[in-house]
Amino acid sequence: TTNAGNHRLECLTCPYQYILQARFYERNTFVHKEREDMFGGKGQWDNAQRARTQCPKEGCDGDEAAYYQVQIRSADEPMTSFYKN
């Protein structure tokens, strides 16, 4: 038996569809970028304020986190806090 027509590529914003004659498989591995660069790189967290807070990661018993607060939005909005434990 043939599976022609059972596999397709489709656009999520318009009705376009492309019927595949065979199964298509592709795996991509993405590398996470370091997020610390926005605060000045390594060592920048050394002088950050600290707060006692429970780590949300399951199995972690961390109870302290460093944090920065930055005014990202307009002045009438609260500051955005960035945490790192």
Residue 55 lies in a domain: yes
pTM above 0.85, yes or no: no
For the record, the structure tokens of 63 come out as 């109870």
For residue 55, give the CATH number of its domain: 2.20.25
Strand 80-84 and strand 64-70: pairing?
Answer: antiparallel
Total tally of structural domains belonging to the chain: 1
- For residue 65, tell me if it sits in a domain: yes
In terms of residue numbers, what domain contains 64?
Answer: 36-84
Q: Is residue 78 part of a domain?
A: yes
Is pLDDT above 80 for 37? no
Tens digit of pLDDT for each residue in 43-75?
A: 777 788 888 888 888 888 888 888 888 888 888
Question: With b meaning 16 or more CB within 10 Å and e meaning fewer, what string describes 27-60?
Answer: eeeeeeeeeeeebeeeeebeebeeeeeeeeeeee
Residue 4 included in any domain: no
> Is 68 a member of any domain?
yes
In a domain, 6, yes or no: no
In a domain, 48, yes or no: yes
Q: Which residues are known binding-site members?
A: 11, 14, 55, 60
Binding-site positions for Zn(2+): 11, 14, 55, 60
User: Closest by alpha carbon to 63, among 75, 50, 76?
Assistant: 50
